[in-house]
Homo-oligomer: A and B are copies of this chain.
Amino acid sequence: MEINEELINIKNVIEEELYKLLSDKAGYQELIFESINYSLLDGGKRIRPILLLKSSELFKGNYDNSLPFALAVEMIHTYSLIHDDLPSMDNDDFRRGKPTTHKVYGEAIAILSGDGLLNLAFETMLDYSLRNSKTLDDYQRNMWAAYEIARYSGIFGMIGGQVVDLLSNEINMDINKLIYMYESKTSALIQASVVAGTILGGGDKEDIQRMRKFGLYLGLAYQIRDDILDEEKDKLVNKVTFLSFHDKSKAISVIDELSQKAFDILSYYEDRDVNFLKELVKLLTYRNY
């Protein structure tokens, strides 16, 4: 299938670039390069950087200009996983079949690796923007894209969602809070990716507004699909999910609705090649793994 081939190609580009970023680095602090590499190259799906690159392409942007930002969202995603897995957070020993970062390098190095990755995301975006912006429009778009990524990643976005997750239990959770948590924890970084891509690609305010919604719908549908896939596992640990409030058929109809809304947004751009993004939405919201 065409999309699968392209998916693999983009994934390879992203992984090569991530690898280049930190390989061959030496110095007294070498261990943190090793630990960051271990976490970054762990076989993730690279959904966020792929969405960023393809959104940028939709508005006629090219990969080269968006790549540093794509790497940045993947670094932010990865740091959030490292910190999530820590003993005082989710206390996970394994991720994708491999021991988690703190299991291999210890808690202190894991915390610093997360900090280092979050910081490196901004270094990467700012360094690139500083060296490659020529016109006022370049500066503005690069700065704006970095800002959107920062905002969606922070205490009003992803980190905020993580706090809500941490403080929630069966007693104090309700469906509104759950949706807020999904919007922050899951949709936010997906929105950051498509919005940053749209800005970098040259989209106008209306395009950005549309893609902001596209990211929201896609993120929510993706998360509710997660709930369906993890139903048995979640029940064992009494985790509150969408299925604590609605049955599975309702969940599926909500996913259908959200995916449809995402498709509707893409149909604004039918004159361009939206096939990949459409297939990606299907792949993510109707996946069975």
Give the contacting residue for A28; candidates B89, B112, B119, B177; CB below 8 A. B177
CB neighbours of A31 from chain B (8 A) = 163, 167
Report the separation of the CA atoms of residues A267 and B74 in the bound assembly, to the nearest whole angstrom. 46
A100: CB under 8 A from chain B?
A: no
A46: CB under 8 A from chain B?
A: no
Interface 9-mer from A51-59, A132-140, A220-228, A236-244: A132-140
CB neighbours of A164 from chain B (8 A) = 28-29
Task: Tell me what chain A mostly uses at the interface: helix, strand, loop, or mixed.
Answer: helix
Whether the Cβ atoms of B166 and A115 lie closer than 8 Å is no
CB within 8 Å of B: which A151-178 residues:
151, 153-155, 159-164, 166-167, 177
Q: A108-B166, A111-B88 are in contact. Are A180 and B28 (CB under 8 A)?
A: yes
CB neighbours of A143 from chain B (8 A) = 126, 129-130, 133, 139, 142-143
Report the separation of the CA atoms of residues A150 and B75 in the bound assembly, to the nearest whole angstrom. 15
Report the separation of the CA atoms of residues A106 and B88 in the bound assembly, to the nearest whole angstrom. 9
Give the contacting residue for A112; candidates B120, B163, B177; CB below 8 A. B163
Copies of this chain in the oligomer = 2
Give the contacting residue for A159; candidates B115, B144, B160, B161; CB below 8 A. B115
CB neighbours of A129 from chain B (8 A) = 143
CB neighbours of A126 from chain B (8 A) = 143, 146-147, 150
CB within 8 Å of B: which A56-107 residues:
79, 83, 86, 88-89, 106-107
CB neighbours of A151 from chain B (8 A) = 123, 127
Report the separation of the CA atoms of residues A89 and B177 in the bound assembly, to the nearest whole angstrom. 33
Residues on A facing B (Cβ under 8 Å): 27-29, 31-33, 36, 79, 83, 86, 88-89, 106-109, 111-112, 114-116, 118-120, 122-123, 126-127, 129-130, 133, 136, 139-140, 142-144, 146-147, 150-151, 153-155, 159-164, 166-167, 177, 180-181, 184
Residue pairs across A and B with Cβ atoms less than 8 A apart, 7 shown, are A28-B163, A28-B180, A86-B111, A112-B162, A119-B159, A123-B151, A129-B143
